[in-house]
Structure formats: structure tokens, C-alpha cells
Amino acid sequence: MSFLKKEWKAITVVIWLIIITIYLSKINGQLEAIHAQNEKTISTIDSIESVAISTDAALIDFSKEIKSVDAKLLAIAKRLRRR
């Protein structure tokens, strides 16, 4: 018992360090799970962004084609009106 009376502070510190280590290990596992979820979300967002960019480019090309067809139709309409 004399050992406990002399070293109770050191034993308390060791117990607290063990508890803190267990707690931090648990938090580390949770943080790793959150990090993995964030990586999946980032990947999904990158894919959506890529699709949006390619769709936007396709719409721009389609708009140019419509303008050229519109100009051709106007020319045909003018020719028909002259007749």
C-alpha cells in the first residue's frame, strides 16, 4: 500500500494517458471514414463537372449548327420570295 500512496499521481497519469490514447484511436477511425467519404464525394463531383462541361460544349456546337441552318433557311426563303 505504501507504493500506492507514493505513486498514486503517476498511476493516475498513466490511466489518463491510456484512456486518451483509446479515445484518440476511436476518433482516428471515424476521421478515416469521413476522409474516405469525402474522397468519394470529390470523385462524384468531378464526374458531374466533366459531364456538365462536355454537355455545355455539345450545346455550343449544336447552337452553331442551328445558326448555320437558320442562315441557309433564310437564304432559301429569300429566293422563294423573289419568284
- Give me the pLDDT at residue 33, please: 96
In angstroms, the CA 28 to CA 52 distance is 36
Longest dimension (CA), the chain: 121
Q: How much is the pLDDT for 39?
A: 96
Burial, 76: exposed, middle or buried (Cβ in 10 Å; 0-12, 13-18, 19+)? exposed
pLDDT tens sequence for the chain (83 residues):
787 778 889 999 999 999 999 999 999 999 999 999 999 999 999 999 999 888 888 888 888 889 888 888 888 888 888 87
